[in-house]
Chain A
Amino acid sequence: MALTKEEMLAMYEKMLLIREFEETVANVFSQGQIPGFVHLYVGEEAVAVGVCSNLGVKDYIASTHRGHGHGIARGASVNKMMAEIFGKIDGYCKGKGGSMHIADVELGFLGANGIVGAGLPLATGAAFANNYLKNNGVAVCFFGDGASNRATFHEALNLASIWKLPVVFVCENNMYGISMSQKVHQNITDVSDRATAYGIPGLTVDGNDLMAVYEASAEAVKRARAGEGPTLLECKTYRHRGHFEGDACVYRCEDELNQWKKKCPIERFAARLLEMSLAEQDELNVIKEQVKEQIKGALEFARQSPLPDVTELTKDVYCD
């Protein structure tokens, strides 16, 4: 399981790519260049990258309204993602989906989702399909602490457990369901406690520690592939930005945010790479520059892409 330097740097690059993408979206959103609303993943990068680094071509992920990070970690094109967020024809969904519906089924990305908790049964179904087709693929569902109060959570975990489906339920516990603190929205603090009720393993890791997430999800994925059934993996993390862009965040304090910023998953991983002499600062700087260029390119691609023609309005409702 030992990672090579190249693999570690690739994971570092992915986290940076997410961060740069999200900060760019925040920036252009604040300038009014993007319609609608966006939910950003800044601060939670280690979860998506740690988990998705364990996945192969047959595997699926189902994501959330905060889905940009999952898409990038799964290997989606930042150009097409950015174009989608701009509502352009070259976006993943020809501009018909927007931020909350970016998807690429071919890539094993069953989409972001506007309905909290909706991904849980979808991923369970994708895991069922992989199992049915005997292709050794698994499915991963990302969801938040808020979604763990939904019926979908209960029904999906129950079904996956009785059918021993190859699915990993990854709870990104960022401590808030929109404005409601976890302290008051559920009578537990570790969502992983709920695994016991379904007779499956549940565990909690530091979601801001890339290697902790990577190791835990590697084991959960291995377990799923071996036919041992689902796992509930809780990653404790925090969103640096509001629930959506423009959220005044009156429900949480600056101090709490600053504490979590100190635990930034990207800086932590970078520091470790340097300490262990796994990388030189120069190498990391080069990656940073490349990432900046890549996102600059994505922004340019999105801006250059045409808006959809209105004839698109009624297309793609049905398969022919």
Chain B
Amino acid sequence: MPSVGIISNPASGKDIRRLVAYATVFGNNEKVNLIKRVLLGLDALGVQRVYFMPEYFGFYHRVIESLSGQHRPALEARMLDMPIEANQSDSRRAAALMASVGVKCIITFGGDGTNRVVAQGAGEVPLLPISTGTNNVFPVMVEGTVAGLAAGLLATGAVRPEQALVRAKKLVIYINGRPVDSALVDAVVLTDQFIGSRAVWDTDKIKQVVVTRGATTNIGIASVAGGIRHISPEEPLGMEIVMGDADAPLQVKAAIGPGLIKKVPVTRHKLLESGQRVTVLEKPCVIALDGEREIQVNRGDRAEVELSLEGPFVVDIDRTLSTAAAGGAFLDKK
């Protein structure tokens, strides 16, 4: 039975970047509308079951209740049976549960931070990341209906995985030799001592950066790398950047937040290859992963960041839809 998972983060799009930058406010009721359109897209292509992650806002109930009228889909929606801790571990556990029940794809609604933890739980199950967060490099801005169609094509087998999927890179964080966390886009070393309000906006505190990709079209730290050298999501390379002060040899103009364009001083930078590890130079420090402060590194710890080419599989929406269209998947000839 073709099935798909839905992980919508009720906390995405609400952090301090509404204040320190000009980030979009993405209300949860708007996410409900978006999920409804995705569901109708899935339904149109014959996906029969959808699993929702339970969370405090209650996307499952709200979506199902408001689709109970004239646009009621035929598919069956279920909520995963799991405890809610109201933190990011929910998304990780939900993704693992979805993988274990055999979903063909997990559609995420959040930002880079949400996808980071979903990827940690999803294993080989591909993600279709829809942007509803703040610092979005990994997920895409896409109309929900179209995303639903793409996921439906993959889930029902109308498009084969090798035609639909690309593999993302990731960064693995080691503390004292043990892998403790991972990131999809960037790991940023800050002089902060607290995770606090999580976001990263004060460039003076950034000491070192490792990225899996870099483009000037990105918002966030990846745009610093992009200003130095473009690194596409497919290219098997990453980059380490060590920040400096106002006298640094290189000043990179970068959009480090929505509406927040700053000159970032760079002391040195180098390309990284698969498996290469970078040592964190500043301690104690906080490491932000994909835009959110996550790891507190104490003075005595050894912290390293490694580039890996074995990140999550991701649905390429354009390719999936164009492959399907070329094969006549949208035609019904009489």
* Residues on A facing B (Cβ under 8 Å): 1-2, 183, 187-190, 192-193, 195-196, 201-205, 209, 211-212, 214-216, 219-220, 223, 231, 234, 272, 275-278
Contact = CB atoms under 8 A, between A and B. Distances in A.
A314 to B, nearest CB: 48
- Give the secondary structure class of B's interface: loop
Given A189-B10, A202-B14, A202-B25, A220 B19 contact: yes
B233 to A, nearest CB: 30
B298 A216 contact: no
Interface of B: 10-11, 14-16, 18-20, 25, 27-29, 56-58, 191, 193-198, 202, 284, 296, 298-299
B16 A219 contact: yes
Given A188-B27, A189-B56, A203-B18, 5 more contacts: A189-B10, A190-B28, A201-B25, A214-B196, A278-B193
17 contacts: A2-B191, A183-B58, A188-B28, A189-B28, A193-B27, A202-B18, A204-B15, A205-B15, A205-B197, A211-B194, A212-B196, A216-B197, A272-B193, A272-B194, A277-B284, A277-B298, A277-B299
Contact of A188 (B19, B29, B194, B197): B29
B14 A192 contact: yes
Contacts of B56: 189
A293 B133 CA distance: 47
A211 B14 contact: no
Contacts of B299: 277
Contacts of B29: 187-188, 193
B307 to A, nearest CB: 28
Report which residue of A192, A201, A215, A275 has the largest number of chain B beta carbons within 10 angstroms of its beta carbon. Answer: A215
A234 B298 CA distance: 30
B246 to A, nearest CB: 18
B16 A189 contact: no
Contact of A205 (B16, B191, B296, B298): B16
A264 B193 CA distance: 19
A275 B19 CA distance: 29
Contacts of A205: 15-16, 197
B16 A203 contact: yes
A213 to B, nearest CB: 8
A268 to B, nearest CB: 10
A201 B18 CA distance: 6
Select the residue from B14, B16, B57, B58 with max chain A CB neighbours within 10 A.
B16
A219 B14 contact: no
B111 to A, nearest CB: 14
B19 A201 contact: yes
A204 B202 CA distance: 19
Contact of B14 (A203, A212, A231): A203
Given A196-B25, A196-B27, A205-B16, A212 B298 contact: no
Interface centre among A187, A193, A214, A275 (most CB of B within 10 A): A193
Given A188-B28, A196-B25, A275-B296, A203 B15 contact: yes
Given A203-B16, A215-B197, A189 B27 contact: no
Nearest to A196: B25
Contacts of B58: 183, 189
B25 A216 contact: no
Contacts of B15: 203-205
**Interface core residue of A202, A204, A220, A234 (most chain B CB under 10 Å):** A204
B14 A209 contact: no
B20 A219 contact: yes
B18 A276 contact: no
Contacts of A202: 14, 18, 25
A187 B11 CA distance: 15
A137 B11 CA distance: 32
